[in-house]
Amino acid sequence: MKIFVSYARADKPYCIRIIETLHAHDVWYDQRLYAGQDWWKEILRRLDWCEVFLYLLSPDSVTSQYCRRELELALRLKRDIIPVLITRDTVLPENMRDWQYVDLSDNLTVENVSQLLNAILMVERQKAAEPAPGAEVEISESRADSSANPAETISNAVGALEKGDYRRAARLLRRAKASGYQSRFVKIDKLLQVAESALKERKQTREVEREYQHIVALFAFESTRQLACETLEEFRREFGDYDPRGLRKLCKPAAAEGNANSRPRNANKFQPTPSPRRVATSPPPSSKRPVARASSQAVPDPPAGRGAPAPSLKATAQAETPRRLPDADAPLTVKEVLPMLQWCDIPHGTVTVSSIVGADEDFGEMTVQVDNFVMSKYPVTNAQFAIFARAEDGYKNSRWWTYSEHAQRWFKLGKGVAEARFSGEKHPRENVNWYEAMAFANWLGSLLKMKVALPTVAQWQRAAQGDDDRYFPWGDEYDEEHCNTLETGLKMTTPVNRYHQGVSPYGVYDMAGNIWEWTMNTAAAADEGRDRRRAVAGGSYVSPCDRAQTSFRYYLDPRVRYSSIGIRLVGLT
């Protein structure tokens, strides 16, 4: 379902948590438009685009002029409205008091998230029973089709197939077949089989995604973990190995193995999209490299032995645990520190940075000079972060957290490392906040005896754009074969070295999609007693492609952890 979320700016953190439960749907919310963009036109465009209007009810949102205006327009457009109460003491306006709403005011639980998903499911079922979008056009077309000759009907059916309108294509082909149309070359039965198979597969795919999303909600709580695992096995017997979140790994081995003697009837369907074959790419332009005291020679991925199983994350972490050389002043090479740690040269240049609405920025556009630096070829991976987390001198060493009072305060809370949502040694490490990203950079810099940091927005943009202000790292046209964004439908992270055709002009991978990346830049203002919000850039697997553009960013509380945000590093002299 296409969902528009209306919320008050003060409720944004909770809004994002709610949106993360809706991975099975195409969700849009105003998480920041560019300064200079006609933002209200974009709101209107998205209201026209959506099927469901999700209104998050709080004291701020029900009194917000913009939220009320969005609601009014959604009602005028006859969109399905789902009110969601997120603050218990909200006083609803008189015209809303008779509404039935989903109550999420007691935080997210299995029960209330299921209520929200079921509310969306009910709307989806109602729409499935109604005429398809464009039904009025279809009615007028059907009249024309009824008087059209069979050849024109076949032509219209093929056009509908090309547009993905399989329902209309099947109807037209049945009509042509009933008319007695025959051709030596055009096989109506085969065309009809294509249309009906596509309709059946689309329906089944939606059912799979919908049912899987309900199981995801059960895994969010320890109290329902056993039930979730049992439910997942029942799901698996019906639909095969469709498991984009890797939920089976959270279950006991016995449950994860399932019944080896029974093959699910749909086992060959709904497999995760395989990685594309490796394609040769042109080497990035050479540039003068900054002098660094650590070896920055590119380290190729370690080859796997023929027929040998891939090493486990634990084995890799133990094998690659950073070690001190006898000479404490001698720098370690990157290969001795982390697997897949490679640097790309980014030469001196300029970038045009635009201010962002809602970030207290009012500079419009400004051209920034960026000195040469090196950037990590890939985002920080699960395997790399695991070494930091387990190292004796790693995550638990307070030395890496002394860069700010806010960081020290957060570290002393003792929250510890959060688990990554997605496994895989080469998958980007997510579920880390800005403080943890900075601590990781400080730790790595100490080992390499060079300055390692998070990139500034200007550095990040320079590495992604090169010299031509391109919209995406590879050019101006979006291509879902080049990155992992919402449009790919994967709904999970992918290995950081997967998209060879999506590299930036300097050979940097994954600068569009997969995960957002923390940067050094701060919003201009902060609430009293709180740290300033920090910018993230690059988009993620749950972001539409317009947010994966090279100049897009938005700001978040540095304490938050999300499965869509990770780490990118730069090295400086």
Considering only residues 179 and 542, tell me which one the structure prediction assigns the higher pLDDT: 542
- Does 26 share its domain with 66? yes
- Residue 171: inside a domain, yes or no? yes
DSSP string, 477-538: S--TTSSBSGGG---S---TT--GGG--TTS---SSBSSEEEEEEE-S---TTSPPPEEEES
pLDDT tens digit sequence for 514-553: 999 999 988 765 555 678 889 999 999 999 998 999 989 8
Q: Which of 94-98, 262-266, 337-341 is the most confident on average? A: 337-341
264: amino acid identity, one letter: P
339 exposure class (CB count in 10 Å sphere: 0-12, 13-18, 19+):
buried
The number of residues making up the chain comes to: 573
- Does 118 share its domain with 192? no
Boundary residue ending a domain (129, 163, 181): 129
Residue 327 has pLDDT above 70, yes or no: no
- Does 322 share its domain with 178? no
Query: Can you tell me the mean pLDDT for 127-144?
Result: 45
459 in Cβ contact with 375 (< 8 Å): yes
Q: What is the dihedral of CA 253, 391, 437, 527, to 10 degrees?
A: 100
Residue 300 has pLDDT above 90, yes or no: no
Residue 176 has pLDDT above 60, yes or no: yes
Residue 22 has pLDDT above 50, yes or no: yes
- Residue 303: inside a domain, yes or no? no
Percentage, residues of the chain above pLDDT 70:
75
Which CATH number goes with the domain that contains 446?
3.90.1580.10
- Does 358 share its domain with 467? yes
- Residue 181: inside a domain, yes or no? yes
- Does 47 share its domain with 145? no
pLDDT (0 to 100) of residue 526: 55
Boundary residue ending a domain (92, 111, 129): 129
Considering only residues 124 and 56, tell me which one the structure prediction assigns the higher pLDDT: 56
Boundary residue ending a domain (184, 199, 214): 199
177 exposure class (CB count in 10 Å sphere: 0-12, 13-18, 19+):
middle
Q: What H or E segment, with its residue span, contains residue 143?
A: helix 135-147
Considering only residues 60 and 302, tell me which one the structure prediction assigns the higher pLDDT: 60
Question: How far is it, in rounded angstroms, from Cα 179 to Cα 308?
Answer: 61
How many folded domains does the chain comprise?
Answer: 3
pLDDT (0 to 100) of residue 140: 39
- What range defines the domain where residue 521 resides? 313-572
- Residue 214: inside a domain, yes or no? no
Question: How far is it, in rounded angstroms, from Cα 163 to Cα 165?
Answer: 5
- Does 558 share its domain with 443? yes
Task: With cut-offs at 50, 70 and 90, classify the pLDDT of residue 83.
Answer: very high
Backbone angles phi, psi at 46, to 5 degrees: -75, -35
Look at 129-138, 237-246, 511-520 and tell me which has the smallest mean pLDDT. Answer: 129-138
Best CA proximity match to 348, nearest among 368, 372, 374: 372
Q: Which of 66-80, 99-113, 220-234 is the most confident on average? A: 66-80
Residue 454 has pLDDT above 50, yes or no: yes
- Residue 532: inside a domain, yes or no? yes
pLDDT (0 to 100) of residue 537: 95
Which CATH number goes with the domain that contains 94?
3.40.50.10140
pLDDT tens digit sequence for 374-399: 999 999 999 999 999 999 899 999 99
Look at 283-297, 446-460, 498-512, 529-543 and tell me which has the smallest mean pLDDT. Answer: 283-297
Query: Can you tell me the mean pLDDT for 408-429?
Result: 92
pLDDT (0 to 100) of residue 337: 67
547: amino acid identity, one letter: R
SS3 365: strand
User: Three-state SS across 452-470?
Assistant: EECCCHHHHHHHHHCCCCC
Considering only residues 420 and 228, tell me which one the structure prediction assigns the higher pLDDT: 420
- Residue 215: inside a domain, yes or no? no
pLDDT (0 to 100) of residue 262: 42
Residue 290 has pLDDT above 50, yes or no: no
Query: Can you tell me the mean pLDDT for 502-506?
Result: 94
Q: What H or E segment, with its residue span, contains residue 68?
A: helix 65-76
The end-to-end CA distance of the chain, in Å, is 49
Considering only residues 341 and 94, tell me which one the structure prediction assigns the higher pLDDT: 341
Residue 79 has pLDDT above 50, yes or no: yes
- Does 17 share its domain with 117? yes
C-alpha dist (Å) from residue 485 to 23, 273, 386, 479, 491: 12, 13, 25, 10, 8
- Residue 119: inside a domain, yes or no? yes
Question: How far is it, in rounded angstroms, from Cα 30 to Cα 50?
Answer: 13
Alpha helices in 264-379 (DSSP H): 313-319, 334-337
Query: Can you tell me the mean pLDDT for 295-306?
Result: 32
- Does 335 share its domain with 435? yes
pTM listed for this prediction: 0.47
- Which residues on neighbouring strands pair with residue 475, listed in sequence order? 472
Question: How far is it, in rounded angstroms, from Cα 327 to Cα 256?
Answer: 47
Considering only residues 238 and 69, tell me which one the structure prediction assigns the higher pLDDT: 69
Question: How far is it, in rounded angstroms, from Cα 161 to Cα 566?
Answer: 40
Considering only residues 514 and 204, tell me which one the structure prediction assigns the higher pLDDT: 514
Residue 325 has pLDDT above 60, yes or no: no
- Does 107 share its domain with 150? no
pLDDT (0 to 100) of residue 91: 86
- Does 432 share its domain with 373? yes
Beta strands 553-556 and 534-537 are: antiparallel
Question: How far is it, in rounded angstroms, from Cα 413 to Cα 404?
Answer: 15
SS3 186: coil
- Does 174 share its domain with 31? no
- Residue 308: inside a domain, yes or no? no
362 in Cβ contact with 406 (< 8 Å): no
Task: With cut-offs at 50, 70 and 90, classify the pLDDT of residue 242.
Answer: confident
- Does 444 share its domain with 543? yes
- Which residues on neighbouring strands pair with residue 275, listed in sequence order? none
Question: How far is it, in rounded angstroms, from Cα 237 to Cα 258?
Answer: 9
Residue 291 has pLDDT above 60, yes or no: no
pLDDT (0 to 100) of residue 31: 67
